Chain A
Amino acid sequence: DVKVTQSSRYLVKRTGEKVFLECVQDMDHENMFWYRQDPGLGLRLIYFSYDVKMKEKGDIPEGYSVSREKKERFSLILESASTNQTSMYLCASTPGRRNEAFFGQGTRLTVV
């Protein structure tokens, strides 16, 4: 069974804090993704990575950065958290092109 694990299920942070969301997959997948899920807006891609140290901006990268130092781990960084970044964050991985995406359980982040 493919496992994609996000480090926290729930997180509460203060405005201006630097926030790290961690994601680990155990199936040697090449591609990893960070999505943000908001009601009515679906899953919007923040960043993705197709290899170690490689990253590509998605549709809404502003206010976020990412790090992929090892193949199995993909981190999302909120440099200075703001209230409009309160959301559900989902990590996903795929083994290659045009393949099933496996999702983590999600991190519900609240910025106060």
Chain B
Amino acid sequence: GENVEQHPSTLSVQEGDSAVIKCTYSDSASNYFPWYKQELGKRPQLIIDIRSNVGEKKDQRIAVTLNKTAKHFSLHITETQPEDSAVYFCAASSNAGNMLTFGGGTRLMVKP
């Protein structure tokens, strides 16, 4: 089955700096890559996703890049703010798209 690895497990940045979280996946058939944000005590929520027919997608301060050849994708957050502090999960779909496999999560701390 699919295996998703995520790095780093913790990331501390100064407010205003950029943050980058990287994920690799194993199943070359995976073609959907979402990112979820989980604030303390809350449920994970989708913040951005990318499908395999594009290499990059942006939504305001958030961007995701995908390299299908190397089987890795990354989340980029620019101009970080304290409210960006949360655990971020990457995921990849396998089994013809019905099942999401998640990475281990990254705890992002943005220091004011």
Q: Please tell me if the beta carbons of A48 and B98 are within 8 angstroms of each other in the complex.
A: yes
When C-beta atoms are compared, the residue in chain A nearest to B1 turns out to be: A59
- Give the docked Cα–Cα distance between A41 and B99 (Å): 18
When C-beta atoms are compared, the residue in chain B nearest to A42 turns out to be: B104
Q: Which of A6-63 contact B (CB under 8 A)?
A: 31, 33, 35, 40-45, 48, 50, 56, 58-59
Size class of the contact patch on chain B = 20 to 34
B11-46 contact mask (Cβ, 8 Å, vs A): 1 or 0: 000000000000000000001101010000011111
Does chain B have a CB within 8 A of A98? yes
- Give the docked Cα–Cα distance between A10 and B101 (Å): 25
Q: Please tell me if the beta carbons of A33 and B9 are within 8 angstroms of each other in the complex.
A: no
Distance from A5 Cβ to chain B, minimum over Cβ atoms (Å): 11
Which of these, A42, A43, A94, A98, contacts B51 with CB under 8 Å?
A98
Which of these, B31, B46, B51, B98, contacts A31 with CB under 8 Å?
B98
Q: Which of B83-112 contact A (CB under 8 A)?
A: 89, 93, 95-105
- The interface of chain B, by Cβ under 8 A from chain A, is 1, 6, 9, 31-32, 34, 36, 42-46, 49, 51, 89, 93, 95-105
